[in-house]
Amino acid sequence: MKHRFLIVGLLLLFGLSSVWAQTEPPVVDSMVVDSTELFPAAVSDVQVVDKPNDHGHAVIVTWETSADDGGGKNNVLRYEIFYSTSFDGPFDSVGAVPAGTGEFRHIGSKEPLDSAFVPDYTDLFYQIDAVTADPTIRTTSDVLGPVQCSGQWFNTGRIPVLVAVLIFGLLTAFFVLSAKRGKKLYVRPIGGIEAVDDAIGRATEMGRPILYVLGLGSAADVATIASFTILGRVAKRVAEYQTELIVPTYDPIVMSVAQEVVKSSYFDAGRPEDFKEDCVHFVTQSQFAYVAAVNGIMLRELPATCVYMGKFFAESLLLAETGSLAGSIQISGTDEIAQIPFFIVACDYTLIGEELYAASAYLGREPKLLGSLKAQDWAKAAFVALAIVGLLAANFEWFEFTTLFQVID
C-alpha cells in the first residue's frame, strides 16, 4: 500500500516537472543549452577484433557512424579513438579519423620500450569519441572490449600469391624437365643476342678490347645475376678469340663473383693460362666516380665493343654517349624502366626489360634454362586471359571475380 502511494507520488512529480519544464523557460546560460543540443549522437555497434594476418600488436575497431554524421545535426567532424589496458582507464588517444569513416586500425609497435607499444595476449579496451568543430563538444561511446591481439602463422590475404607461386613453380618444373628430356623449345630471335657474338668478332679483328659493365646492382639483384650468365658467355668467346676483356665493377661482391665467372669461362674455353684476375677490378662504390672512371677507360682503351647489362641509373646516358664517342658498338640491357629510353637512343642494340632475362637464359646455352622462359610465357598468356575476363567482369559489375585477385595486407 505504502509503495503505491510512493509510486503515484513520484509519477505526479515527474508529470509536474515536465509541465514545468515546458512552460517555464530555463533560467540557465543559453550557451550551455546550445552546447547540450550540439552534442552529437554517440557511435553505435562498435566491434573490436584482432587484426588478422599480421605479427600481432594491432587491433581493428569498426563502428556505425554517429547519427549526426552526414545527417541529423551533421556536426561530427572526426572520430577520436582511445584505448586502455584496463576497463576503468586511463584511456590514451591513439588516433583520429575524419567523419564518414567507420573503421580505425590501431597498429601498435612491437618494441616494448616504444611509447606506441601494444601488448599481445593482453585485454585491451577501446572508446570512440564523436568530435565536432569545437573539440570540447564531443560524445564518448561505451567502453568496448576486452580484445586480445596476437600474431598469425599464415597470411590468408596472400593466398592469391601462394596460388601464383604454386602454379608458376609447377609450370617451371614441368618445362625444365621436358627440356631436360630433350624437347626443343623455340625462342624468337632477340636483336641484341645475335649482336653479341658479332661484336666480339669485330673486337678481335680490330685488336681492341671489350668492355663489360655490370651496372650498379649488387650481387643479389636478379638483373646482375642474369648479367653474370651473359658475362660468362662473353668471356668464353673472348677467351676463344684471345681478345682483351675489361670489367670495371661498382660493388666488391659483384667483383669477386665476376672474377669467378670469367675465370671459369677461361677454363671452359681451355685457356686458363690466359686469365688475368685484374681484368675484373673494383673502382669505387660511388655512382659518378664509377662513371668518371669508366668513361676514362673508354676513351683511353677505345674498346671495340661495350656491353652494359644489369641495373643502371642516371649514368646510363653518360656511359652510352662516351661509348659512342669512342666508336664502340654498344649493346645494352636493363630492367630499370626509367633508363631504357636512354639506352635505346644511344646504343646499337638494347634488350628491353624482360629481354635481358631471356637473353641470359638463351646465352646460357643450357636447354633447361629456357624452361623457365616457357613458364613465363604461360604466365603472360594467363595474364592476357585474366585481363579480358576481368574487363568483362568490371564492365558487367561481376565483382566476385575482381576481388579474387586482391592481395590484402
**CA 183, CA 9: separation in Å to the nearest integer?**
101
* Cβ 21 to other proteins shortest distance, Å: 32
Interaction between residue 314 and other proteins (CB under 8 A): yes
Interaction between residue 408 and other proteins (CB under 8 A): no
Binding residue for other proteins, selected from 38, 67, 107, 283, defined by CB under 8 A = 283
Interaction between residue 369 and other proteins (CB under 8 A): yes
**DSSP structure string for 180-246:** HTT--------HHHHHHHHHHHHHHHHT--EEEEEES--TTSHHHHHHHHHHHHHHHHHHHHT--EE
Number of residues that bind other proteins (CB under 8 A): 130
Stretch of 4-12, 17-25, 31-39, 390-398 contacting other proteins, by CB under 8 A: 390-398
Binding residue for other proteins, selected from 121, 188, 273, 400, defined by CB under 8 A = 188
- A 10 A CB-CB count for 305 gives 27
**CA 347, CA 43: separation in Å to the nearest integer?**
64
Interaction between residue 19 and other proteins (CB under 8 A): no
Amino acid making up residue 11: L
Binding residue for other proteins, selected from 141, 295, 305, 332, defined by CB under 8 A = 295
Stretch of 12-20, 59-67, 131-139, 140-148 contacting other proteins, by CB under 8 A: 131-139
Exposure of 14 in the CB half-sphere (CA atoms within 13 A):
6
Cell of 40: 552529437
Binding residue for other proteins, selected from 1, 27, 113, 337, defined by CB under 8 A = 337
Which lies closer to other proteins via its Cβ, residue 143 or residue 293?
Answer: 293
Stretch of 14-22, 25-33, 200-208, 392-400 contacting other proteins, by CB under 8 A: 392-400
- A 10 A CB-CB count for 89 gives 13
* Cβ 44 to other proteins shortest distance, Å: 21
Binding residue for other proteins, selected from 135, 198, 205, 242, defined by CB under 8 A = 135
Cell of 97: 579519423
**CA 257, CA 249: separation in Å to the nearest integer?**
10
Stretch of 8-16, 59-67, 204-212, 314-322 contacting other proteins, by CB under 8 A: 314-322
Binding residue for other proteins, selected from 172, 204, 243, 328, defined by CB under 8 A = 172
**CA 313, CA 221: separation in Å to the nearest integer?**
14
Interaction between residue 228 and other proteins (CB under 8 A): yes
Interaction between residue 32 and other proteins (CB under 8 A): no
| 103 neighbors 60 (Cβ within 8 angstroms) | yes
**CA 107, CA 119: separation in Å to the nearest integer?**
11
